[in-house]
Amino acid sequence: MVVFSDATPSVIESKMNDISTAFLQINYTVGKQSFNCSFSAGLASSTHHEKLSELISKVDTALYKAKDEGRSKVCVHD
């Protein structure tokens, strides 16, 4: 879980896309095998004091949407 404070969802989405792109560029080697890794992310914002469990549920929904859309996706919960 990554928490940003005082940032808009569009700024956070942009930063997570930048992180995802940079992460994909890292080359890993195990023995003679080289590979890259990717990740998808779900984002949600809270401007009021909702329960943490509700916020996590929104993030989880966005994450599964990102995974359904393919590799290295970032989705924001509406």
- pLDDT tens-digit readout, 57-69: 999 999 999 999 9
Is the Cα torsion angle 31, 73, 69, 58 positive or negative in sign? positive
- What pLDDT is attached to residue 49? 67
Question: Which one-letter DSSP state was computed for residue 48?
Answer: S
pLDDT tens digits for range 9-44: 889 999 999 999 999 999 999 999 999 999 999 998
47 — pLDDT class (breaks 50, 70, 90) = confident
- What pLDDT is attached to residue 20? 93
Residue pointed to by tokens 């940003």: 4
